[in-house]
Homo-oligomer: A and B are copies of this chain.
Amino acid sequence: MTTAQGTSASARPPVLVGMLGLGVVGSGVAQTLNEQRERLAEQAGCPVVLHRVVVRDLSKPRTPAVAHGQLTDDTAAVLDDPAIAVVIELMGGEEPALSYIKRALGAGKHVITANKEVMAKHGPELAALAAERGLALHYEASVGGGIPLIAPFRQSLLANRISALHAIINGTTNYMLTRMAKEGVEFSPVLAEAQRLGYAEPDPSYDVEGTDAAFKLAILAGLAFHTRVAPEQVYREGITKLSARDFRYARELGYAIKLLAIAKRANGAVEVRVHPAFIAEDRLLGQVDGVFNAVEVDGDLTGRIMFYGRGAGSLPTTSAVVADLIEVAQALGHGGRPRPAVAGDAGLPIQPMDEVVTRYYARMTLRDQPGVLAQIAQALGDLQISIASVIQKESDSAAQVAEIVLMTHLAREDSMQAALARVRLLPGVVDIGAVIRVED
C-alpha cells in the first residue's frame, strides 16, 4: 500500500514486542514480524518491532529469520524492560507460562498468548488482572488456529444471547474419524498412520481422550455464555472405543460421527461436554472432514452461523497471533489504548452430566432367542426411556447371536446409564458394543 497514512506510519514511534518461546509457532511469528515489517507498519499505523525473544537454549540452531542479537535466555530482558509494550507468550504448557504472563501484566504490558491450557485454566483470573490495569489480553490463537473465533465472540456476536455451540476443535481426531468413516478402517491402524504422518503425538491421549478439545471448549463456552467454565467441569469422553461398523451404521441412518465439543444453555445452567456424537450428515458441521475445525453457534439474532478452517499449524496460528498484535499496535500507534480484557462473569452454574438430556444410539450383540428385545425395551422403559427404532444389522447363525442397533428418544444421561447397567445383566445380552449420543 502506498498511502499518506502508510508513509506516516513509519515515522511514528515503534511498538516494541518481546516474545517468550521460539518453537514452531514462535518461528512463524518471528519470521512474519521480521520479514513483513513494512506491511505490518502500514496496517498497524506504526512500526512493530520484535525487540527480544527469550529462548531456553541460546546455542540451539534457530530459524535464520531471527537475528542472533534478538535472542536472549534471560526472561527479565523481556518482562522487566520498560521499553517493551507487548509480550507474546508462545511457550505452551501451564508453567512457567502462567507466571510469566502474570509478571508481564503486572509490569503493565499487553499480553498476547496462544496458550490454551493457561487460558482454559486461568483465563478469568488473568482477564481480571488485565482488566484492572486496562491492559489487553488477546488469545485468538489459543482456539481454532487461523479461524477468527475469539474476536467474533468478543465483538461481532455480543448483541446475541447464545443458546448453543457445537464444535469440531481437534484436527487430529477429526482426521482419524474421517478416515474411519470413509475407508472403514479401525481406530488402531488409523492412529498408527496419524502418528506416522505427524498428525498425532507419540502419546496420543491429549487428542484422542478429548483433553485438548476440553481446554478449547472451556475457553469458547466461557466467552459464549459470559461465564466461568473450568476445564475439569467439561465432561470428557474420547474416541478410542469407536468401531468402523458404527460409522457404517451411522451413515445408513443419515448421520456422521464426530468428536463434538458442545456447550448449551439448559435450565438456567450450561452443559459443557466433549464426546463422540451422531450428527445429521446433511448439517454442514457433519460434513467438516479431515484436519479441519469448525465452530457452529446458535444466536438469538444471528440464527445459526459457522466458522471453518484449519485449527492448528504454524502458519494459521501465526495469522492469529499477528492479528492480535496488529490490533494492539493500532491502538498504541495512535496514542490510544487497546481494547482491554473483559472480566465479566454471569455466574451460570454448570449442568452436571447426569442431568444432560439427549438421544442415544446403542449397538448390542444379543443371543438369537425370543424375548430378548422385549426385555431390553422393558429395562429402558422402566427408566422412562423409549425406543425410537431398532434395526437388526447382522446375525451369526453358527454362534447364534445377532447384532442390533437401537436409537432412543430423548433421555436423561443418568437414566440411560442406569438402564444400560440393567441391560448388560440380561441373560440374552452378549455385549453392548457402543453407546453414542445423538446431537440434533
**Interfacial residues, chain A to chain B (CB-CB below 8 A):** 1-3, 5-6, 28, 32, 36, 40, 42-43, 131, 134, 140, 145-148, 151-152, 155-160, 226, 284, 287-288, 299-310, 313, 315-316, 318-320, 322-323, 326-327, 330-331, 334, 336-337, 339-340, 342-347
Q: Are A306 and B309 in contact (CB under 8 A)?
A: yes
Given contacts A5-B131, A145-B302, A303-B313, 14 further A-B pairs with CB under 8 A are A1-B346, A2-B346, A5-B344, A40-B159, A43-B158, A148-B157, A156-B323, A159-B318, A299-B319, A302-B310, A302-B316, A303-B310, A305-B309, A306-B306
Instruction: Write out the residue numbers on chain B whose beta carbons fall within 8 Å of the beta carbon of A299.
Output: 146, 319
- Shortest Cβ gap from A31 to chain B (Å): 11
Instruction: Write out the residue numbers on chain B whose beta carbons fall within 8 Å of the beta carbon of A323.
Output: 155-159
Instruction: Write out the residue numbers on chain B whose beta carbons fall within 8 Å of the beta carbon of A307.
Output: 305-308
CB-based nearest B residue for A304: B309
- Shortest Cβ gap from A407 to chain B (Å): 25
CB-based nearest B residue for A291: B303
Task: Name, among A6, A131, A134, A155, the residue most crowded by chain B CB atoms within 10 Å (CB to CB).
Answer: A155
Chosen A-B contacts, 19 in total, with CB atoms closer than 8 Å, are A2-B347, A3-B345, A5-B343, A145-B302, A146-B301, A147-B302, A147-B305, A151-B152, A151-B156, A156-B323, A158-B322, A158-B323, A284-B287, A301-B319, A302-B316, A306-B306, A306-B307, A307-B307, A331-B336
CB-based nearest B residue for A308: B306
Q: Are A309 and B302 in contact (CB under 8 A)?
A: yes
Q: Are A319 and B5 in contact (CB under 8 A)?
A: no
How many Å lie between the Cα of A137 and that of B306 in the bound state?
26
CB-based nearest B residue for A345: B3
Q: Are B1 and A344 in contact (CB under 8 A)?
A: yes
Also in contact, A284 and B303, with CB within 8 A (given A151-B151, A157-B148, A319-B160): no
Q: Are B326 and A330 in contact (CB under 8 A)?
A: no
Q: Are A146 and B320 in contact (CB under 8 A)?
A: no
- Shortest Cβ gap from A344 to chain B (Å): 5
How many Å lie between the Cα of A327 and that of B338 in the bound state?
12
How many Å lie between the Cα of A339 and that of B328 in the bound state?
11
- Shortest Cβ gap from A298 to chain B (Å): 10
Instruction: Write out the residue numbers on chain B whose beta carbons fall within 8 Å of the beta carbon of A152.
Output: 148, 151-152
How many Å lie between the Cα of A156 and that of B43 in the bound state?
12
Q: Are B316 and A3 in contact (CB under 8 A)?
A: no
CB-based nearest B residue for A149: B156
How many Å lie between the Cα of A315 and that of B305 in the bound state?
13
Q: Are B155 and A42 in contact (CB under 8 A)?
A: no
Instruction: Write out the residue numbers on chain B whose beta carbons fall within 8 Å of the beta carbon of A320.
Output: 156
CB-based nearest B residue for A346: B1
How many Å lie between the Cα of A337 and that of B40 in the bound state?
21
How many Å lie between the Cα of A308 and that of B3 in the bound state?
33
Also in contact, A326 and B158, with CB within 8 A (given A303-B315, A336-B337): yes
